[in-house]
Amino acid sequence: MGFASIILAAGKGSRMKSDLPKVMHNVGNAPMIDHVLKSAIEAGAERNIVVVGFGGEMVANHVADRAETVEQPALNGTGGAALCARTALASFKGDAIVLYGDGPFVRPETIKAVLDKRADSFDLVAVGFEPENPSGYGRMLMDGEILEGIIEHKDCAPAQLEIGLCNLGVISAKADVLFELLSKVENNNANGEYYLTDVIALARAAGKSCGVVVCEAEEATSVNSRAQLAEAEAVFQARARAQAIENGVSLVAPETVFFSLDTALGSDVMVEPNVVFGPAVSVENGAKIRAFSHLEGCHVSEEAVVGPYARLRPGAEIGARGKVGNFVEIKNAVIGNGAKVNHLSYVGDANIGADSNIGAGVIFCNYDGVFKHHSTLGERVFVGSNSALVSPVVIGDDALIGTGSVVTSDVPAGDLVLARSVQVNKKGRGKRLMDMLKAKKK
């Protein structure tokens, strides 16, 4: 039997001082809600229910391909939010687990551990963690392996404040059991809210067993302010760097490399300092990404070299053993196997065939002010430095474009193109002109 995740994502996050719903703020170049959904899906969720409120339409549209959404009409606490999923899961027979859209770091392994423990021996399972400083967190009251209750920090007796095991807020049970307990939660507290954690005491009063899975402290990271968002970004980057190294990637200066949630690097990839991986980047085995390069929406094939100081924009495809050098920008273009674009060039909306060479300062003039135009170069084409290719043009295999040419027409295979003004030398005029200008300056 599969499980369903219930992801609480209704909060505005007033301390963010933003018009965006809190869960749509980015960590690792992806909204926080994406991190939570990714973990739930990797753990094997059969269904994902996202509870929305402020900015609900934006959140619902964003997750539409991965989750169902239900609305929380009134922001009345975590228990009230989780109960909003009851109708959507009315016929669901498996487990439900409550997660948080502003808590992006709960790992799939933790979710699986919760579900396994619940299936093995407990009616309800909650997740705890042991922070260095437990101040402010609810404490988990244990009797051996049994969780007897959760008490908020402000309600703790002095002895309870010494408890190191704190509540993360993640709780799992059979869906029908969870909703039955949630329906009994009351809001007779200072905030007038329905607390999810109250289901533990209700479950124990009903004779049900409650257990705990302890997770890593960083999984408890949640975001309620811009400062905490920055802290979450630091946690994400540290985890991403460590995972990349574990997977066989060499990071010369790990603290200077920045990843996105979906960055995919193969083994034996070398990443030099000060590299940024934007969204949707994949790099195959043995490639080298040199210093100060920025990549997004692109694919780099095996043993290719990118940079230093290169920019790969969306749609860039670098073939095996291809080379993209310093101060080169590639956009929506395919660089074929073994092709080289080594210096100071812009390649946009183009296909460059295998083993072609694009010289320094070459520009693909792909935009006429209204439309983008595409050019195609065959294999082993040589484009001399400082040339401009005015798209759309087709250049055949083995063609050679002379330095400084402006190419406006198709070039048959094997042809030599010389498309520049004829040089004219005016005897002695250079010195006379310079002398005249210097005289005017005095």
Cα(272)–Cα(195) distance, integer angstroms: 48
Query: What SS3 class is residue 60?
Result: helix
**Catalytic annotation on 343?**
yes
* Active-site residue (options: 62, 299, 343, 374): 343
Cα(209)–Cα(125) distance, integer angstroms: 9
For residues 356 and 377, the answer to whether their CB atoms sit within 8 Å is yes
* C-alpha dihedral sign at 192, 196, 200, 202: positive
Phi, psi angles (nearest 5°) of residue 278:
-75, -170
For residues 304 and 290, the answer to whether their CB atoms sit within 8 Å is no
DSSP 8-state symbol, 256: G
Q: Percent helix, strand and coil across the chain, each rounded to 5? A: 25, 30, 45
For residues 207 and 160, the answer to whether their CB atoms sit within 8 Å is no
Paired with 317 in beta bridges are 299, 334
CA-to-CA dists, residue 33 to 55, 100, 101, 296, 330, angstroms: 13, 8, 5, 21, 31
Strands (E), 41-123: 45-52, 68-71, 95-100
List, by residue number, the catalytic residues.
Answer: 343
